[in-house]
Structure 1
């Protein structure tokens, strides 16, 4: 087993990149230059179609991860350039420990030097860096303004930090720039927390709300595949909650802001939960929020956000009747909402009402081709618990009349067997499926459900009688598979007919299918004692299709 260097080996690189990128990375070993080994990372450039920057992050527990500014790498992939740099590190295994030790020494030395600098020299160094690094200057200006409670400057700096335009080179923030933008948003969150700590919580509340608005408007134009901007925005939302806890803003105004933000279709960057603010809102704020949510739901009864908010509020209050009323305003035609209401009532210990709602769902949706299967199952389970097996059969029969699928047939069979009435139900169900077949109502896979039902019952004889002229190839093959021992001649005829159909299609899937059919035909010939005819047929088939080398190899693998 290969020894790991810096916590990884070639197998790790192959697993991260995939076989194709790994193999392509081998061709870029001579294109790696400027390799710099740090304590926890490695950076380098790789010369390809362009010059690409690569950074590998090395963690003992987390393993290795990579970033590259090539187009494929910017889509969060471990690209061939990352592979090339990783392989270069492995090929320099003997020098890596020394280089990482040197990196640690440099960090330690820098820390010691900075700590020993006189104040004037340290200030001069900071001023020099601030003059050269605009991002650093902005961060320090924000911290300085926060420290002296210069609210005008703090606001300007926070708004500048969350402004996406400097990162949106083409009108949106690309994956490669998202982490830089996220760092600035996180810096803004830190500034908001500092404002609260410095006794300016009310100002922090207002600034946080403005920041959340800007982030919400910008988020749709950000490639946040790694979720780093979302995490930073969540930190801004947490800073807002913390500031509210200290400032205790007007409950009604806070409720209005929360409802407006949660229901704003353009603001999906922060997953605000209004109930996190329950203590700050108090009874009056919660009442105002519920009032606003109810008004919003009346304006847009089918609105997902409106309904979800109202459900959260009434559920938190433990008001089951109000929750039922919210759900009942927009009943899904599949019966899913009826089931949701039934489950809420059952959880509340109101079993009779729960069953009544579930039964209402079956009545309301009786004519629908699709009904939520969980609702039907829920009612049948409740009937079984109550010893109402006949009622369960009625439910399954009603659904079978509408749906006419193999699954509905199987469910009817299960319920009828439990009620000891399957024989009579089966006669009626098969008669209905026979009429469907006559009218050419096909099954899910093309052939009539009648044949699938008979095959599922294991009634091969009846399936043979019904199949002629209506069964599709899949059903014929299934029938032959079931019957090759009991009806080898009939099964053989099916296999040979299907083999003829598969002479034209190409590809591994078709060839594997052809081999399975030939195996079935071989079993039939053995049962009939006609192995010579099989050998002759197979030889002719191989001669006819001999140019298909992949088919020949597959037949060889099956011993055909």
Structure 2
């Protein structure tokens, strides 16, 4: 369901959908059909790649919200189809209040008519609907079987509902069939809840576990791109929890089942959380759960699921020292685990120990090129709060000397400027980067970090001195952009050289970049007072590339 806003107009549709979806929705106005106005909602069909069903909720106080069964809409977005229906409603705004009033009247009349029917007449009506609607018949048959405790029929029907084979035409459930399968799985979840409500909770527990097993085995062969099967499977898991809360099965046996689900190969569809069952497990079940998790962790210490389960249980127990000891068994070389320990300790009010762990992380990872930046920020923030500004500079300096990145240079500069020692730090930092250029140590985008650092400092003169033979095209373009007024001739030479390289590539991106270079060249000619030379150059370029109509239109748009 999309988020709601107050009011309902074109601006509200644009705010809900975003500019791109709103503009695309304009193209679907003629694709809307079957508009039906209810008391509090509007439904319609929109014909696109497929035929999609749209529902808009017209809340008096909460404003507008929308739902669509297209893939984008099922992710919770207010899609272009919702926009199209919303615009259609706005086009018919004068008629909507009357149609809503008529819908209320129809609903009231229907309720009054049903209330006045005799038992025999209602039965006849239900039988008529059963004959026409196979889905309704199956649902009612299942409810009837549950009501008379016909567990054999209930079991067969529930397992049939979660069986993916009728939908697996080629050995797997395709995307186009996933939604229909998901509806059956959701129907099975409803049957399990009905069984629990009818006093058959213990039987519902066993049937839910069978259904979960089938779903787990099948999920790897389902294209559930929209997550509809996973959502329906979650409803089955919720039905299992409800049944357990009512039936109170053996807690130790339940603990064993839960661990098997969490650590099993087919656990992806359910995402069960054993702690949701804490009230059912009770003390003995939780003890069994912890022992099983610890045993699984010992047998497979590198297993992600085993580690996560153990961490989850220990954290829930509130034993910070046990949690720290668990984390400490597997310290990540990036320092991320040290940071988690520090944050847990700080949350527990043990700030000094937290900082000690964070500092240990910096020491343990001192030689690593990559260290989790959040750990470095954590330590620096605590130093700054304690008035240890010089230590902040020291941390940033150490990280810069290992990373040699522009980001590390910027962080060092910020820290050093705060204590007015940047000039000395800058000399040393630039010396490190110059040494890197001699060793051909490239920056992230190809050019040396030295050039990026000088450009970031705004030291254009130094950047020009260092750039020859070192800078890459990105850096040359950035340098020229900073030098149009101060070094127009040098900047012009850069723009023309880069423009020559873009004569061959095609496509909007290349054309837009070429236009940007030409705009820069024009500015340089303006500063030099040689606008006529630019006019001649541009005329020659346009003549040379005149067959590229898209390029010509882009140049026209930029006034070139």
TM-score grouping bracket, smaller chain normalisation: 0.7 to 0.9
**Which residue in 2 is equivalent to 1:168?**
168
Of 115-124 and 400-409, more deviation after overlay is shown by 115-124
CA distance in 2, matches of 1:374, 1:547: 52
CA distance in 1, matches of 2:405, 2:79: 47
The aligned runs of 1:210-359 (5 Å cut-off) are: 210-359=210-359
Cα displacement string for residues 520-545 of structure 1 (whole angstroms, at most 9, x for unaligned residues): 33443443444444444444444444
CA distance in 2, matches of 1:102, 1:84: 24
Gaps of at least 5 residues in structure 2 are 1-7
Cα displacement string for residues 257-276 of structure 1 (whole angstroms, at most 9, x for unaligned residues): 12211222312233322222
**Which residue in 1 is equivalent to 2:510?**
510
> 1:230 deviation in Å?
3.4
* 8 Å contact from structure 2 (residues 66, 82) kept in 1: no
> 1:340 deviation in Å?
0.9
TM-score, normalised to structure 2, is 0.81
Of 253-262 and 208-217, more deviation after overlay is shown by 208-217
**Which residue in 2 is equivalent to 1:440?**
440
* 8 Å contact from structure 2 (residues 37, 96) kept in 1: no
Whether 1:156 and 2:138 are equivalent positions in the alignment is no
CA distance in 2, matches of 1:207, 1:132: 29
Whether 1:60 and 2:58 are equivalent positions in the alignment is yes
CA distance in 2, matches of 1:467, 1:44: 61
**Which residue in 2 is equivalent to 1:497?**
497
Whether 1:204 and 2:204 are equivalent positions in the alignment is yes
Of 279-288 and 531-540, more deviation after overlay is shown by 531-540
Whether 1:381 and 2:381 are equivalent positions in the alignment is yes
SS at match of 1:442: coil
> 1:483 deviation in Å?
2.7
CA distance in 2, matches of 1:547, 1:245: 74
> 1:118 deviation in Å?
5.4
Whether 1:361 and 2:361 are equivalent positions in the alignment is yes
CA distance in 2, matches of 1:375, 1:72: 37
> 1:295 deviation in Å?
1.3
SS at match of 2:221: coil
Of 388-397 and 255-264, more deviation after overlay is shown by 388-397
Question: RMSD in angstroms over aligned alpha carbons?
Answer: 4.2
Cα displacement string for residues 164-193 of structure 1 (whole angstroms, at most 9, x for unaligned residues): 333334433344544443443333333333
The aligned runs of 1:63-82 (5 Å cut-off) are: none
Of 477-486 and 350-359, more deviation after overlay is shown by 477-486
CA distance in 1, matches of 2:84, 2:384: 64
Cα displacement string for residues 379-405 of structure 1 (whole angstroms, at most 9, x for unaligned residues): 222222233333323322222222211
**Which residue in 2 is equivalent to 1:3?**
none
Cα pair distance change 1:104/1:163, threshold 3 Å = farther
CA distance in 1, matches of 2:468, 2:219: 61
SS at match of 1:220: helix
CA distance in 1, matches of 2:68, 2:198: 40
Structure number with bigger Rg: 1
The aligned runs of 1:114-133 (5 Å cut-off) are: 119=119, 123=123, 126=126
CA distance in 2, matches of 1:124, 1:89: 38
> 1:102 deviation in Å?
8.9
SS at match of 1:60: strand
CA distance in 2, matches of 1:21, 1:552: 30
Cα displacement string for residues 213-239 of structure 1 (whole angstroms, at most 9, x for unaligned residues): 222223333344554433433333223
CA distance in 2, matches of 1:545, 1:228: 51
CA distance in 1, matches of 2:376, 2:221: 43
Cα pair distance change 1:194/1:516, threshold 3 Å = closer
* 8 Å contact from structure 1 (residues 76, 225) kept in 2: no
CA distance in 2, matches of 1:489, 1:91: 59
Cα pair distance change 1:217/1:463, threshold 3 Å = same
Cα pair distance change 1:400/1:97, threshold 3 Å = closer
Cα pair distance change 1:540/1:418, threshold 3 Å = same
Cα pair distance change 1:12/1:224, threshold 3 Å = farther
* 8 Å contact from structure 2 (residues 485, 524) kept in 1: yes
Whether 1:471 and 2:471 are equivalent positions in the alignment is yes
> 1:438 deviation in Å?
1.8
* 8 Å contact from structure 1 (residues 396, 408) kept in 2: yes
CA distance in 2, matches of 1:344, 1:53: 51
> 1:98 deviation in Å?
9.8
CA distance in 2, matches of 1:84, 1:484: 48
CA distance in 1, matches of 2:128, 2:547: 76
* 8 Å contact from structure 1 (residues 74, 176) kept in 2: no
Cα displacement string for residues 63-110 of structure 1 (whole angstroms, at most 9, x for unaligned residues): 665569xx9999999999999999999999999999999988887777
SS at match of 1:281: helix
CA distance in 2, matches of 1:293, 1:475: 54
Q: How many residues align?
A: 544
* 8 Å contact from structure 1 (residues 480, 494) kept in 2: yes
> 1:298 deviation in Å?
1.7
> 1:22 deviation in Å?
6.8
Cα displacement string for residues 416-446 of structure 1 (whole angstroms, at most 9, x for unaligned residues): 3334433332222222211221222221222
TM-score, normalised to structure 1, is 0.81
Of 334-343 and 209-218, more deviation after overlay is shown by 209-218
* 8 Å contact from structure 2 (residues 255, 288) kept in 1: yes
CA distance in 2, matches of 1:342, 1:74: 39
* 8 Å contact from structure 1 (residues 25, 80) kept in 2: no
> 1:318 deviation in Å?
0.9
> 1:320 deviation in Å?
0.6
Cα pair distance change 1:510/1:159, threshold 3 Å = closer
